[in-house]
Amino acid sequence: MSEHILSAFDRDLEKVQALVVKMGGLVEEQILESARALEERDGELAQRVRDQDKAVDALEETINDEAARLIALRAPAARDLRVTLSVIKISASLERVGDYAKNIAKRSQVLLESPQINGTAAAIRRMAQATESMLRDSIDSYIQRDAQLAADVRGRDIEVDQMYNALFREFLTYMLEDPRNITPCMHLHFIAKNIERMGDHATSIAEQVIYLVTGELPEESRPKSSSVVKTEA
């Protein structure tokens, strides 16, 4: 009987984790497509990114419901409970990343009415690609239960911070050169900040994986660029 209950729990947990992986794939696509919409000034693509956020939100709700049902019906032991709770935390981080991608798409549509700021959209795309890579690897580390890969993701967050800082300084230069650049550069700054926050959530997922595998959160503080600009997007 106990073996039957255990196998039923494992099957149910696998289904929930599959939903997390599906959600991760949708969010990864949102990141890249929102940056592409900005660079190509594609309002229709930006709108598709915004619309896709509904599917991401629906998946988070389903994951939370299924995880709660697992806890209530299966009464998992300590380690299994940790795994079950991890899917709730990871899906919450993914939902926030999806929200940031949606915000980027919104601002991209607004920027269609403004002149382009040379080179900035391509730089933002590179930053988005770096962040998407972090998120993809954090999900892979979860699937594989790979604490080393998760630690690698953690270490890469500083690279995204440095890219954000460089862009912030560039935006300031453009705004000082020509007051007409102030409005588009402010939108671009908040887009870059959204991407920087995506990197933070990818790092949070990686830290959750480390906890899941080792039973302990990383002792050392998360590596951050010392000059990262603290603003709210």
Digit-by-digit pLDDT tens for the chain (233 residues) are 444 455 777 888 899 999 999 999 999 999 999 999 999 999 999 999 999 999 999 999 999 999 999 989 878 888 888 889 999 999 999 999 999 999 999 999 999 999 889 889 999 999 999 999 999 999 999 999 999 999 999 999 999 999 999 999 999 999 999 999 999 999 999 999 999 999 999 999 999 999 999 888 787 666 666 555 555 55
- CATH code of the domain occupying 2-214: 1.20.58.220
Domain boundaries, the chain: 2-214
Whole-angstrom distance, CA of residue 104 vs CA of residue 108: 6
Res 7: pLDDT = 74
Res 221: pLDDT = 67
Res 229: pLDDT = 55
Res 10: pLDDT = 83
Res 73: pLDDT = 85
Res 170: pLDDT = 96
Res 216: pLDDT = 84
Whole-angstrom distance, CA of residue 63 vs CA of residue 69: 10
